[in-house]
A and B are shown apart, each in its own frame.
Chain A
Amino acid sequence: FAGLRDASGLRLISGGPMMGTVVHDPAAPITKTSNCLLLVPAEAQPRPRPCIRCGACDRACPMRLQARALHDCVRATDFDRAQDLHLFDCIECGCCAYVCPSAIPLVQYYRHAKGVIEGLDRDHAKALAAAARFARHGSRRRNAPISGGAELLDLPGSRAALRADIEAALARRDERR
């Protein structure tokens, strides 16, 4: 990156100071959507203090979400209430964390909660699909004819027929010898 040899003590950010992501390897390529690369000193983020409920985050939010209440919900792992407070309308612009006097990494909390909720939703969808599959399977078994098992055995390709074919093939081999 721009002749950079030694990246120690520096931080490479792709996508601007408010919403960008850290690029860990300077060899990473840029893509069509890369709009900006920043190389800044790798300062530690200020140490967070407890929330003082000042509401600066609420005032800063361009989506007018209740950032403080969302933070409380995420900390209490009350993800249902976080969704009631429209967590998924958060655009992760970072304004709340920028103004927070306690230097709480609010965006990190929201991203974490979104990830957890999406994981839970995926699990829920999988469970629903499995339940539907099981219900279909049960109804197929119930609707099948009771005597069906014996008939199936006589059909070509059934186990007995296969065995007969194998026997015949083995007999032919013995004859050729």
Chain B
Amino acid sequence: MSSPFLHSGRTVTRLMFGVVVALLPGLAASIYWQGWGVLWQIALALAAAVACESVALRLRRLPLAFTLKDGSVIVLALLLALAMPPLAPWWLSLCATGFAVLLAKHAFGGLGQNPFNPAMAGIVFALLCFPRQMNEWPALTVPALTVAGSIDALHAVLDGRPIDALSGATLLEHTRGEARRMVMVSEMAGAPVFGAIGGRGQEWINLAFLIGGLYLVVQRIVSWRIPCGVLAGVALAATVLYGVDDERYFPAPLHLFSGATMLGAFFVATDPVTAATTPRGQLWYGFGVGVLIVAARCWGRYPDGVAIAVILMNALAPLLDRWTRPVRFGEK
């Protein structure tokens, strides 16, 4: 028995619960704009993640109830499900979750030891193996949130064939296709995919994630440096590109409020296990994620690049920690 004899009471379980609470506004907005498919994806991912985690813990002979209670696997499943297309077929969801929990998390030693964000590793895995399914997003009309709609969505998920009326292109995909046909940015304006600031619908989802993310920062569950770095990186990279050629690249607000920018900035990049830990390292880490998001969107093979950007910066995080070692008290 050794000092201190007190504890703050902020446990891993409570931090993870805070993250889940902070995800709720974004979750509600996602359901409102993307339909019941989001909920089905979450149910699938949660069940699969808890099952995989239990198997892994049993194999590793770790205490089951105590370890499951840390809540990390629930956050993993939620992030993964929110990053999946809502109408992705069920087997894709299961593959991504299984890869995330078994290979990206437990093969490296479980909570605290994984070098790459498991949820994003699962997404990248699915993106590399099944790019077509990963890029089918529901249409931008507000889906009817009725019981019949939920059953339709369930059918779409279970049959693995999205209903045509429901599927469509998001802003990032649409503009990508247009750009390939050499349509100028100024000519694209007015297309139905654009909203007030970002992609139609997506801007509100992003705003909701921003609100949840601010709650995380105010509660000091995540450090403010990483999201600030990400947003600054996205804004700066997008502004520079837009300044270089405003007919090929989009302005910063559009990047900030489309795709998974806010989800990535506040919930994914801030995963403490895989991010940089020193104060300056966190700023640089976030900045790198932001720049890479824009780079992946503009020059990458896939419409959105949050998962790829986060995975790449995860690999750099230990180096950033080493380079940005803080000075101790009283040291010049």
Contacts and interface: CB of A to CB of B under 8 A. Distances in A.
A50 B3 contact: no
B5 A40 contact: yes
B277 A68 contact: yes
Most A C-beta atoms less than 10 A away, residue of B8, B110, B327: B8
B70 interface: yes
Nearest to B2: A108
Contacts of B6: 17-18, 94, 98
Contacts of A62: 329
Contacts of A40: 5
Contact of B329 (A11, A63, A97, A103): A63
Interface stretch (A2-10, A51-59, A124-132, A163-171): A51-59
B10 A99 contact: yes
A112 to B, nearest CB: 9
24 contacts: A17-B6, A18-B3, A18-B4, A18-B6, A19-B4, A40-B5, A45-B7, A49-B67, A49-B111, A50-B112, A52-B111, A52-B273, A56-B10, A62-B329, A65-B328, A66-B326, A68-B277, A94-B4, A94-B6, A95-B4, A97-B7, A101-B10, A102-B12, A103-B11
The 10 closest A-B pairs by CB, nearest first: A94-B4, A50-B112, A54-B272, A55-B277, A18-B4, A108-B2, A63-B329, A64-B329, A101-B12, A17-B5
Contact of A52 (B3, B272, B329): B272
Tell me the interface secondary structure of chain A in the complex. Answer: loop
Given A52-B272, A63-B329, A20 B3 contact: yes
Contacts of B228: none
A78 B223 CA distance: 29
Given A53-B272, A89-B329, A102-B112, 19 more contacts: A17-B6, A18-B3, A45-B1, A49-B11, A52-B111, A52-B272, A53-B273, A53-B275, A54-B15, A55-B278, A62-B329, A66-B325, A94-B4, A98-B6, A99-B10, A101-B12, A103-B7, A107-B2, A107-B4
Interface residues of A, number: 45
Given A58-B278, A64-B328, A101-B12, A50 B113 contact: yes
Interface in A142-170: none
Contacts of A11: 1, 5
Nearest to A16: B3
B4 A52 contact: no
B14 interface: yes
Contacts of B15: 54, 101
Most B C-beta atoms less than 10 A away, residue of A19, A55, A105, A108: A55
Nearest to A15: B3
Contacts of B110: 50
Most A C-beta atoms less than 10 A away, residue of B2, B8, B273: B2
Given A65-B328, A66-B326, A86-B328, A49 B2 contact: no
A90 B112 CA distance: 24
B66 interface: yes
Most B C-beta atoms less than 10 A away, residue of A94, A101, A107: A101
Contacts of A21: 3
Interface string B263-288: 00000000011010110000000000
A46 interface: yes
A13 interface: yes
Given A50-B113, A66-B326, A19 B10 contact: no
A114 interface: no
Given A62-B329, A65-B328, A89-B328, A98 B273 contact: no
Contacts of A13: 5
Interface string B210-247: 00000000000001000000000000000000000000
A19 B110 CA distance: 32
A49 B12 contact: yes
A49 B15 CA distance: 13
Contacts of A111: 2
A103 B309 CA distance: 32
A99 B6 CA distance: 9
